[in-house]
Structure 1
Amino acid sequence: MPDYKLLHNKIYAKIKSAEKILLTTHEKPDIDAVGSVCAFIEILENLGKPYFAYCYDAPPRQFNFIPHIEKIKSDKNLYNFNEFDLIIIFDAGGMKRTRLDEEIINKNKNQFVIEIDHHPKIEEFSDLELRIASASSTTEIIYDFFKLNNIKINKNTANCILAGILADSGNFIFPATSDKTIDISSQMLVRGANLPAIMKNTLHNKSLSALKIWGKAMARIKINKNYNFAYTVLTWEDAAGVNEEDLEGISNFLGNLHGVKGVLLLREQPGGTIRGSLRSSHPSANMTLLAQVLGGGGHAKASGFTIAGKLEKTAKGWRVI
């Protein structure tokens, strides 16, 4: 078993000795990803370290309550990858999801890559890895980083960590939620996290157009009785004008469907691809195995994948072409 305290200490030593640092996460970032990056921005600014925070997709506007989020940029032209001697990747679940895979593969010998994640490992690409697949979220691991390196958690950091934990634990209902998850969340409240603001911006924030799309997804639900598995679809036209986080919420909500082993949401993307989201609350179901067959990954109860194709409605139902 890895010595996690030693890993946390090694990462902090690397940060303190680095000249210039790149912070990044996965495309279409969720709150756990953004919260992790922003918590580290707080560290780097307090240390006076030069850094750049990059994400392929700009974070959704409803994440604007998270401290430092405005410092995450999505324009590659604003930086030169080769300028950084330390690259820290958060919550990515795999190198390709950063959209920096080509740069990482071709990095020079003076560049060091650190990966901090709670997703199961699917590939080897970092020089130093801090992975705890049993954690509820990457922000839960970030809390340990602060604690084990004796870094003070202020109000900004507390908001970043609590927001990430609440989002990735499904407000404490997902299986990875533990007594530690609850304890950390309680401590973040003591340190100044604003729970009402977090809940307002993450749970009570659905627009009318978003709820109408949720209605379309629910109206199309079918159950495959052979596999006891539910599925539904959203076309590109269905989802026009609605942001990613609104749509992700559909998958989590459908995962509450009683009496099935799992739920699949197929959603058309621009460029001729389809994104699949798998959710389950069934005790024996492992969505990761199915997602990996289709080139994706994730967690046992929440996974995803992307395939080439389009959705077509036929007399027998929907199909991928």
Structure 2
Amino acid sequence: MKHDDQIDALIAEFRSHRRFLITSHSRPDGDAVGSVLALAELLEQLGCHADVLLADPVPFIYRTLPGLDRIRYCSSVDEVEPDTQTPVIVLECDGAARTGLKGLDRHPLINIDHHASGRHFGYLNWIDENACAVAAMIYRLARRANVEITPSMATCLYAAILSDTGSFTYSSTDADTFALVHDLASHGASPAQIARDVYFSNPASKIRLLGAALSNLQCDGPLAWTWITSEEMDRVGAEAEDCEGVVNYLISIDGIESAVFLREVRDASQFRLSIRSKGKLDVARIAEHFGGGGHRSASGCTLDGPLDAATERILAQLRTGL
């Protein structure tokens, strides 16, 4: 099915129900947060009631996005919606388990994703791995449905695209991306204010964590890697969300083709990995090999510890690819 046909099918489905739940992946990033908020507003313009559910809190740097107070945090959809006939729209996930929410298996699911590792787990599925962000897909839905791009919607979508394109540096960024954000700016999004909120409003704990992580930096030919342990995070007073973006400092090193950041998961003997590439290596395939996924140049997965074993496993795969 072509993308326009998939969009039309989604809009027809939106118009046929009065109530929806919207969710995205656990440990939400900018694309997840901005997209769920914008989609909720889109649905309300179509006359629907939409509840936004997330398993984990929104990161501090997205705290100023309009409509944030509409997000409800829970561990199960049953806490909000006992009617199992209510459709749930799942954004940016390769499966229902990625949301961290229980009870989704009892609801009809609509799946909207842009990852190369995306899977068809819903009764309606729209996966566009060429989209720079899920927010770009929500924008297309809004345009096709002829709803108003309000300043609040424009702000949420712009912030999502800004963050998910690595500030317009990833290979998914093209002329269409800039045309899209130009339109969002013309509808009320403030690029300067959003950039200040996202990049210049970090808690001090994030900077302390960055220093600790960079002190562990290792380089070997075209590879760079570093890590942070739970003990080190406690020492600097950091939270898991403070780890976002650390890997980008590694991939920025001249001569480095791929980089990985390992974060110890508290009380789990596991490490969460953020993997980056400058394009030569498809890190999505490597992440999928370990049960994760993502994009060609930006992916992630989880590996069992200890740290030395996890590091050797990921580096062996990266070396093979290079």
Asked if these proteins are the same fold (TM beyond 0.5), I'd say yes
**Cα distance in 1 between the residues matched to 2:38 and 2:31:** 10
| Residue pairs, 1:112-261, within 5 angstroms | 112-225=108-221, 228-240=222-234, 241-261=237-257
**Cα distance in 2 between the residues matched to 1:94 and 1:238:** 32
Gaps of 5+ in 1: none
**Cα distance in 1 between the residues matched to 2:265 and 2:36:** 26
How many equivalent pairs are there?
308
Query: 1:10 deviation in Å?
Result: 1.3
The aligned residue for residue 7 of structure 2 is: 8
Which whole-Å deviations, capped at 9, do the CAs of 1:7-37 have from their partners, x for residues lacking one? 1121111112113211000000011111110
What is the TM-score of this pair, normalised by structure 2?
Answer: 0.89
| Residue pairs, 1:26-175, within 5 angstroms | 26-75=25-74, 76=76, 78-80=79-81, 82-100=83-101, 103-105=103-105, 107=106, 111-175=107-171
Which whole-Å deviations, capped at 9, do the CAs of 1:142-175 have from their partners, x for residues lacking one? 1111111211111111001111110001111111
What is the TM-score of this pair, normalised by structure 1?
Answer: 0.89
**Cα distance in 2 between the residues matched to 1:6 and 1:122:** 19
Q: Secondary structure at the match of 1:171?
A: coil
Query: 1:290 deviation in Å?
Result: 1.4
The aligned residue for residue 319 of structure 2 is: none
Amino acid at match of 1:277: S
**Cα distance in 2 between the residues matched to 1:243 and 1:163:** 22
Amino acid at match of 1:62: I
2:111–2:120 Cα contact (<8 Å) kept: no
Which whole-Å deviations, capped at 9, do the CAs of 1:196-220 have from their partners, x for residues lacking one? 2211111112233211211222221
**Cα distance in 2 between the residues matched to 1:168 and 1:302:** 10
**Cα distance in 2 between the residues matched to 1:122 and 1:93:** 5
Residues 92, 81 of structure 1: alpha-carbon distance in 2 compared, 3 angstrom cutoff: farther
2:224–2:250 Cα contact (<8 Å) kept: no
**Cα distance in 2 between the residues matched to 1:122 and 1:8:** 17
Residues 210, 181 of structure 1: alpha-carbon distance in 2 compared, 3 angstrom cutoff: same
1:20–1:84 Cα contact (<8 Å) kept: no
**Cα distance in 1 between the residues matched to 2:296 and 2:154:** 28
The aligned residue for residue 280 of structure 1 is: 277
Q: Secondary structure at the match of 1:62?
A: helix
Residues 193, 69 of structure 1: alpha-carbon distance in 2 compared, 3 angstrom cutoff: same
2:23–2:90 Cα contact (<8 Å) kept: yes
**Cα distance in 1 between the residues matched to 2:169 and 2:193:** 20
Residues 122, 41 of structure 1: alpha-carbon distance in 2 compared, 3 angstrom cutoff: closer
- Higher helix proportion: 2
**Cα distance in 2 between the residues matched to 1:125 and 1:284:** 30
Which whole-Å deviations, capped at 9, do the CAs of 1:31-76 have from their partners, x for residues lacking one? 1111110001112333442332111101123312112111111123
Segment drifting more, 302-311 vs 173-182: 302-311
Q: Secondary structure at the match of 1:120?
A: coil
| Residue pairs, 1:294-309, within 5 angstroms | 294-309=290-305
**Cα distance in 2 between the residues matched to 1:270 and 1:209:** 17
**Cα distance in 2 between the residues matched to 1:188 and 1:117:** 21
Gaps of 5+ in 2: 314-322
CA RMSD, 1 decimal: 2.2
